């Protein structure tokens, strides 16, 4: 079988030695390996003859590959080696960070066929797929303001430091969210910050929507009606303690199939949105479930 091993050489977490170990581990399991690389414009080659696409990177790199495959009309099983900063999808699907163990477990899953595959319905933002989350609010601003050089040195803690610095210049944002809920009802929420959640985890091991799962054909909206400093800190503490944030009076969670986003004032139009840990260049307008699905090759533990 042929494994296409895609990586992002410009990533702050890129490690050429680790990539070489991963490539050799797949070869030791009997696979042929061809290397590919992501580009920020999404224009990179995916080999049609590949049997399995392996992304060595984080959720952002995975999103680029999923979007490229959708444009090309390719349907190949994917796996994700957790070489990014946060790795939400890899965390949810149980991929090992040890490259040799990862290759053995993924190869075992590939050979097991359908019994070790997960079909994850795709969510799109203005027609472009994403894999784990979108948010707008203070943490989106933190993603926009983080230092890539610091991120390269200390990883995900760079986002936490950006959030601390944001306390001195706290954003005041307002959005109108029209939600087409999973039960067919429609509601309008006035939101100061919100999250669109497709995977169980957020920002590491945190959980914002306990019912969220990648296999579901819905996504979850977590909306904060107010997000002053003290409100947002209370929200973060609640999540850090492992509690459902929906218990807070100013937080509402809804399962949905479609979300339309409108800014209520000019500052919100300049708000930083983040998608899968990367800053979005423009504000998202419509998020919806699509007819497509991404197939992941699940690891089979030894």
Q: What is the mean pLDDT of each run of 10 residues along the chain (302 residues)?
A: 88 81 96 85 75 94 91 92 91 96 97 95 96 89 69 67 77 91 94 94 91 95 95 94 96 97 67 85 91 96 84
Alpha-carbon distance values, 65 to 75, 100, 154 (Å): 11, 23, 26
- What's the rounded Cα separation, in Å, for the pair 43 and 117? 27
Give the pLDDT confidence score for residue 192 in this predicted structure: 93
Q: Specify whether the CB–CB gap between 152 and 13 falls below 8 A.
A: yes
The encoded tokens of residue 187 equal 């509601």
The encoded tokens of residue 124 equal 């799109």
Give the pLDDT confidence score for residue 26 in this predicted structure: 97
Give the pLDDT confidence score for residue 133 in this predicted structure: 95
Query: Strand, helix or coil at 271?
Result: coil
- What's the rounded Cα separation, in Å, for the pair 263 and 246? 23
Give the pLDDT confidence score for residue 203 in this predicted structure: 85
A 10 A CB-CB count for 229 gives: 11
- What's the rounded Cα separation, in Å, for the pair 181 and 278? 27
Which domains are assigned to the chain?
A: 2-122 (3.40.50.10330), 133-275 (2.60.200.40)
Give the pLDDT confidence score for residue 43 in this predicted structure: 61
Q: Please give the backbone phi and psi of residue 153, each rounded to the nearest 5 degrees, phi first.
A: -85, -40
Q: Please give the backbone phi and psi of residue 69, each rounded to the nearest 5 degrees, phi first.
A: -65, -40
- What's the rounded Cα separation, in Å, for the pair 160 and 120? 30
Angle (CA) 230-219-273 rounded to 5° is: 50
- Check residue 149 and report its DSSP letter: H
Greatest alpha-carbon pair distance for the chain in Å reads 58
- What's the rounded Cα separation, in Å, for the pair 264 and 246? 23
Give the pLDDT confidence score for residue 268 in this predicted structure: 57
Give the pLDDT confidence score for residue 146 in this predicted structure: 63
């Amino acid at each position: 079988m042929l494994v296409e091993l895609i990586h992002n050489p410009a990533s702050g977490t890129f490690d050429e030695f680790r990539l070489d170990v991963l490539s050799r581990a797949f070869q030791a399991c009997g696979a042929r390996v061809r290397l590919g690389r992501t580009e920020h414009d999404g224009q990179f080659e995916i080999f049609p003859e590949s049997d399995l696409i392996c992304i060595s990177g984080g959720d952002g790199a995975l999103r680029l590959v999923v979007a490229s495959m959708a444009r090309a009309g390719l349907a190949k099983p994917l796996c994700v080696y957790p070489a990014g900063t946060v790795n939400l999808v890899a965390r949810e699907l149980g991929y090992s960070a040890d490259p040799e163990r990862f290759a053995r477990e993924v190869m075992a899953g590939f050979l097991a066929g359908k019994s070790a595959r997960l079909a994850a319905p795709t969510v799109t933002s203005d027609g472009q797929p994403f894999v784990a989350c979108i948010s707008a609010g203070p943490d989106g601003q933190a993603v926009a303001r983080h230092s890539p050089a610091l991120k390269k040195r200390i990883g995900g803690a760079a986002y936490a430091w950006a959030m601390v610095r944001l306390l001195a210049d706290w954003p005041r944002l307002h959005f109108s969210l029209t939600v087409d809920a999973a039960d067919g009802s429609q509601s309008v929420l006035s939101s100061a910050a919100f999250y669109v959640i497709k995977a169980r985890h957020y920002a590491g091991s945190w959980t914002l929507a306990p019912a969220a799962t990648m296999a579901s054909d819905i996504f979850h909206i977590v909306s904060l009606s107010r997000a002053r400093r003290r409100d947002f800190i209370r929200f973060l503490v609640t999540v850090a303690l492992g509690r459902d944030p929906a218990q807070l009076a100013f937080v509402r969670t809804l399962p949905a199939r479609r979300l339309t986003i409108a800014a209520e004032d000019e500052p919100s139009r300049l708000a930083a949105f983040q998608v899968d840990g990367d800053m979005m260049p423009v504000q998202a307008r419509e998020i919806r479930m699509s007819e497509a699905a991404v197939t992941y090759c699940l690891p089979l533990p030894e």
